[in-house]
Amino acid sequence: MVKKLIDGYCQAIGYLIAAALAVMVVLVFGNVFMRYAFNSGFSVSEELSRWLFVWLTFLGAVVAVRDNGHLGTDMLVGRLGPTGKRICMGLSLLLMLFCLWLLFKGSYDQTVINWETTSAVMEVSVSYFYATGMVFSVLSAPILLGDLWRLLTGQIDDEHLLLMQESEDVPHAGNAETH
């Protein structure tokens, strides 16, 4: 049930990312064309594109958390036995959850501080910009908690005890299996 929910919102995030990217392309290309052809442009284009890029990055990071797509190295952990790998995975998950809490708290504080502040061009509350950290934290926490639950209940076999990808070129062997 939780896995279906996570898969569903990650699929929705994928659609949001595609839409944000399409809007960014239209805004930037349109602005370049307007500047070249008519010596004018859309003033909102640069600021909105920057905001969309930040949202796109944080939403993409949620999907990468689910797919264990973040880069890392297993130089130490790869040499450990299954018990050592399980301990390191558990510690990693707990540290990541703690980092999510710190990111949520900091983003929340910045959102509150900037609630009344508006952006220069769009004149929209800057708090929406800082809310990306809260959204990332809230959407990533169930993924990490699910991984921790599977680890503690023995549902992860020894081959899938790494939470990262060694290289951008070669997908991690356990990505499809652990989720």
pLDDT attached to residue 69: 84
Q: Say how far apart CA 137 and CA 140 lie, in whole Å.
A: 5
Q: Please tell me the least confidently modeled range out of 52-61, 102-111, 138-147, 149-158.
A: 149-158
**82-113 helix and 127-152 helix, angle to the nearest 10 degrees:** 160
Q: What is the pLDDT of residues 26-77, one digit of tens each?
A: 999 999 999 999 988 888 999 999 999 999 999 999 999 999 887 777 788 8
Contacts of 150 (CB under 8 A, 6+ apart): 156, 178
The count of other CB atoms within 10 Å of the CB of residue 128 is: 16
Residue 177: is its pLDDT beyond 60? Answer: no
Token couple for 114:
């900037």
Q: Say how far apart CA 142 and CA 6 lie, in whole Å.
A: 8
Whose tokens are 């908690």? That residue is 145
Q: What is the pLDDT of residues 5-31, one digit of tens each?
A: 999 999 999 999 999 999 999 999 999
pLDDT attached to residue 151: 93
Token couple for 28:
């930037």
Contact 174, 162 (CB under 8 A): yes
Helices (H), 39-152: 43-66, 82-113, 127-152
Whose tokens are 């930037």? That residue is 28
Q: Say how far apart CA 127 and CA 113 lie, in whole Å.
A: 8
Single out the residue of 153, 165, 106 nearest to residue 132, CA to CA.
106
pLDDT attached to residue 57: 96
Number of H helices, E strands in the chain: 5, 0
The DSSP 8-state label assigned to residue 124 in this structure reads -
Strand partners, 118: 125
The DSSP 8-state label assigned to residue 168 in this structure reads S
Token couple for 106:
């900091």
